[in-house]
Every structure is written in C-alpha cells, then in structure tokens.
Amino acid sequence: MGYSACIVAAGGGERAGGGTPKQFRTLAGRAMLSWSVERFANDPACEQIIIAHAADQARDVETCLKGVQVDLVQGGESRTASVRNALALAHCDHVLIHDAARPLLTQGLIDRLRDALSSHDGAAPALAVSDALAREDEAGVTPVSRDALFRIQTPQAFRTEPLREAFANAQTDFPDEVSLARAQGLDVVLTQGEEANFKVTYPQDFERAEQLLALPASQTPSVAVVTGMGYDVHRMEAGDGVHLCGVFIECPYHLIGHSDADAGLHAITDALLGASGLGDIGDHFPPSDDQWKGADSAMFLKHAVKIARDAGVRPVHVDVTLICERPKIGPHKVNMKHRIAEIMDLDPRRVNIKATTTEKLGFTGRGEGLAAEAIVTGALS
C-alpha cells in the first residue's frame, strides 16, 4: 500500500539564524528541504509528495525540487494549520508527516512506521531519554524521573481518514500530530527512532548535519545491500492449468506439489529468506505439514516479506527466470510482475520476469517439469 508524504516547510526558522529560512539554507551543497524530498521520491511506495510552505515561498520550494513532482499548498499560522492544509490534498490511505528540518531521514525508519500502520491508527519514531532530567522553579532544582519518557521525531505516520477526522474535531493547535491524534482517541504506537534523524534547530546543528551528510556510504549507518538466491522445481502432468508467479495460466498441464506448486513464488520466497539469513521455505512451511496442502503460495511470500522486514531487510528488487518448454510465459509476464509487486509491496518496475528453455534438453526440455530461479536484492537497515 502506497502513502502520501507531507513535508512541513512553512516556518521561519529564526532560532537557526542566517537570515534565510532554514529549510532553504544550503546543507552539504543543497537546500536542506531537498534532502527530505529526495528520500521520499526514491521510495517506490511514496505515491505523492505534498509540501506546505509560507505564502511567499513557493518559488523557493520549486528551486529545491530538481524535477521531482510535488503538490504545493500554502501553510497556515501554526503547524496544525499547515498540516491540515496539506492533509486535505493527500489521496493515499496512509500519510507520513515530516519536518523539512530533519534532513537525515532513512528508508529503514520509513519502513518501520509503515509496518506499524498495519495494526495501529498512527505511529511515530521515538528515542528514550538518556540524560538526567530536572525542573527548575522558584523552589530550586527538582530531579525528574526519565522513566517512560521519549523524544518524539518525524515522520509521524497515520491512516489518513482517522487523522482527517481528528483534525476536523480539534479545537486548538497542537505541537505535533501525535498529540492531536491522542487527544482525539486514536491508537498511536512508538517505533524505533534514529539519533541522526535530529531536527536542525540551532546554528551549531548545521555543522553536525553537514558532518553526517558528508560521510562516505561505507560509514553511514543507514543502508547495506543484501542478496539472496532461490531455486525450485516441480513435476508436470496433464491437468487444467498451472500457478506461476501468482498468476493462474489455463493450459492442459498441472504442476505437482504439496501446495499450489507455484515454482516462481517458491523461488522468490527462498531468495528473500536467504537475503535475510532466515533459512528456507521448508523451515517455515514444511511439506510434511498437512495445513499447507493446496495452499496459495502468495501466503508463503507474504510471510517471508514480513519476517524479513522484522529482521531489518526491505526487498527492493526481484529478478525471476522461469525455465520451461511449456506453457508459454510471454503473454503473462505483465500480470506476473504486478502480482509479485502487490504481494511484496514493490513498484512493478522493481520486478523482472524472464523465461527460457533448455533447447529440449533435460527434464524441462522433455516437458517433465518446470524450474524457477530468483534473485532478491534487499536493503538492510
């Protein structure tokens, strides 16, 4: 399921100094706003980017976009008003609301928030308070317990319609969307935040952000690339059709297997489990277990996607090769791409289907069976 990203960039940023609103100040050679725009634009699941800006800043925003298509909306007098205006344009079922002043957003943080929305109305990244705390007033300094206290970051993620209703019912301004959502009774959960995802607020923060953005890829803690390979074979007999890569193909053949014998999805499942260091399909769905008899193999792949994400691996590309003399694969490639993309929550452009024969050699050449190979590339964060 895709999402809309709302970037709040309507503030003046007076505490940051420099005269220019901080979202437009140069950071590692680019306007700070452009870092967040690029992060969302590079996520295939992000279907829409909305930027809330001050009335006289539309031209400044446009200079930060570098060709990225966004929806612009004028912000309000407060953060609550700006987000309300941006939310009105969101057309996806989920929405992520982010501060333009947090330029070091990572894909892993986004993925954790989106996963949380499967069972909650909202989610926000948070970090436990580690420093000692105290309150100072006329009576002097009083220590404050830091137990169960957290620093809340952005993006803050929500199911769009419940958040819209919360905004419609809100009578006052709130410091952030979590505060507003909780005041209206929405179920919000905290996910793991990241120290690098700090808010650039004061002049010294620019130096810290510059240093982090200047780190070479080998030293950044955000993403590493992992790969896995999968291979599966099923015997073929006379029948009324075969399941391949999540698509049923009517033909005078049938693949023999404990489940629906979808060799394509089985190979992808094994490849993803391999990339995640989580064993193989037989470990999770033993063929000796009768509950999987005739099962839809999409269930296996969905399970692999979930536990891979729990292990910190986000699939980003799939390449499948189907090896068979029959049936003909070409007419079904597009449907296969879209079905795999749907199961794995990928852009269809990140799924590739190939088909080949063995020139009449071997068991596939004799039409006795079908084989599938798959390679899955993932991002480990």
pLDDT of residue 217: 46
Q: How confident is the model at residue 20 (pLDDT cuts 50, 70, 90)?
A: confident
In this model, does residue 354 exceed pLDDT 90?
yes
Contact 111, 345 (CB under 8 A): no
Among 12-16, 119-123, 305-309, 337-341, name the one with the lowest average pLDDT.
Answer: 12-16
Task: Note the pTM of the prediction, 2 decimals.
Answer: 0.58
214 or 156: which leads in pLDDT: 156
Find all residues with CB under 8 Å of 343, minimum gap 6, and list them: 246, 265, 298, 301, 302, 305
Q: How confident is the model at residue 16 (pLDDT cuts 50, 70, 90)?
A: very low
- Burial call 356-370: b when 16+ CB within 10 Å, e when fewer: eeeeeeeebeeeebb
With 0-12 / 13-18 / 19 or more C-beta atoms within 10 angstroms meaning exposed / middle / buried, residue 313 is buried
In this model, does residue 290 exceed pLDDT 80?
no
Partners of residue 237 on adjacent β-strands: 254
Q: How confident is the model at residue 197 (pLDDT cuts 50, 70, 90)?
A: very high
pLDDT of residue 322: 95
Q: Is the sign of the CA dihedral 105, 107, 109, 114 positive or negative? A: positive
With 0-12 / 13-18 / 19 or more C-beta atoms within 10 angstroms meaning exposed / middle / buried, residue 102 is buried
Candidates 38, 53, 11, 52; CA nearest to 104 is: 38
pLDDT of residue 215: 58
**pLDDT > 70: what percent of the chain?**
95
In tens, the pLDDT along 69-105 reads 999 999 999 999 999 999 999 999 999 999 999 999 9
Contact 43, 155 (CB under 8 A): no
If one counts every other C-beta atom within 10 angstroms of the C-beta of residue 114, the result is: 23
Q: How confident is the model at residue 176 (pLDDT cuts 50, 70, 90)?
A: very high
138: tokens are 């006329």
Q: Is the sign of the CA dihedral 245, 247, 252, 257 positive or negative? A: positive
216 or 170: which leads in pLDDT: 170
In tens, the pLDDT along 108-165 reads 999 999 999 999 999 999 998 888 888 888 888 888 888 888 999 999 999 999 999 9
pLDDT of residue 333: 93
Q: What is the average pLDDT across 55-74? A: 91
In this model, does residue 228 exceed pLDDT 80?
yes
Contact 50, 10 (CB under 8 A): no
Domains annotated for the chain, with CATH where assigned, are 3-219 (3.90.550.10), 224-380 (3.30.1330.50)
Q: How confident is the model at residue 381 (pLDDT cuts 50, 70, 90)?
A: low
What is the full DSSP assignment across 137-170? Answer: ETTEEEEE--TT-EEE-S-EEEEHHHHHHHHHH-
| Cα–Cα distance for residue pair 8/212, rounded to 1 Å | 22
| Cα–Cα distance for residue pair 153/193, rounded to 1 Å | 7
| Cα–Cα distance for residue pair 294/44, rounded to 1 Å | 33
